[in-house]
Amino acid sequence: MKKSLFLLLTLLMAWPAPAQETVQASTDTASEISAAAPQDPAERNRMLYSLGFLLGDNLKRQLILDNEDDYKALSQGMRDSLLNKKSQTVLDDYKPQIIEKYQQDALTISQRRAEEQKEFLENFSKEKGVKVLDNGAMIKLSKKGKGRTANAASKVTVNYEGKLIDGTKFDSSYDRKEPFTASLTGVIPCWTKALQYMRTSSKATVVCPADTAYGNRPVGIIPPNSALVFEVELISIDD
């Protein structure tokens, strides 16, 4: 149980990483950063505020805080810890309750997300022009291309933007200013099916139920069991 709690708390420090990118810092780069001129105090405050906001964003994905008193108690505990003050409680006495809260909140959040995603998928499937594929993936063309279609073994080049159903963007080739190229045998099942219904130069909204995307695996900022929404532009096909 203690190990589970440690892992849960450690997750709060996870930095949201783009699905297609990894970041490496060399020893030389780190030395250069440490030797740089002192940061402007106002800019440092904005950076630390941003860090606090991200920590809060991660925390609310794992815990249910119901009212202002909840927020005040939690923030006071964090403040006292960061300022190396003595705890106002006997921490070991509350570890069982903390673990229980994490477990109960995780179950509640998971159930809420499942209901939200079910509703989203049902509503999207009823929109005009939506085609539901045999694996559950859905596609809605916004621009009909005039080129040819791919097959399951084709290599395609696309531009795309991926979001969670709440609108949170997790990846974008547009942001990277570089189209994405891959074989349809090497992408998520949703894409393998949906992109075979697109012609070159077409654009579409592709909605992927969790079991046609990453299933119960978390990927970057994508939580487990997430339905995904992609805006896809098929640029070319290379068999």
Concerning whether 237 is annotated as a catalytic residue, the answer is no
Concerning whether 70 is annotated as a catalytic residue, the answer is no
Concerning whether 221 is annotated as a catalytic residue, the answer is no
Phi-psi region of 129 (alpha: psi -120 to 50; beta: other; left: phi over 0): left
Concerning whether 160 is annotated as a catalytic residue, the answer is yes
Active-site residue (options: 160, 221, 222, 237): 160
Active-site residue (options: 102, 109, 188, 197): 188
Concerning whether 214 is annotated as a catalytic residue, the answer is yes
Active-site residue (options: 171, 222, 235, 237): 171
Alpha helices in 186-236 (DSSP H): 189-194
Q: If you search the block for the tokens 């989203």, which residue do you land on?
A: 120
Active-site residue (options: 170, 221, 235, 237): 170
Q: How far, in Å, CA of 25 to CA of 32, rounded? A: 11
Active-site residue (options: 214, 221, 235, 237): 214
CB-neighbour burial class of residue 233 (10 A; exposed 0-12, middle 13-18, buried 19+): buried
**Can you name the residues that pair with 132 across neighbouring β-strands?**
138
Concerning whether 165 is annotated as a catalytic residue, the answer is no
Phi-psi region of 167 (alpha: psi -120 to 50; beta: other; left: phi over 0): left
Q: If you search the block for the tokens 């640029």, which residue do you land on?
A: 235
- When computed from its CA atoms, the radius of gyration of the chain, rounded to whole angstroms, is 22
**Can you name the residues that pair with 230 across neighbouring β-strands?**
162, 206
Active-site residue (options: 139, 221, 230, 235): 230
Distances (CA, A) of 111 to 105, 114, 115, 210, 220: 10, 5, 6, 14, 21
Residues noted as catalytic? 160, 170-171, 188, 214, 230
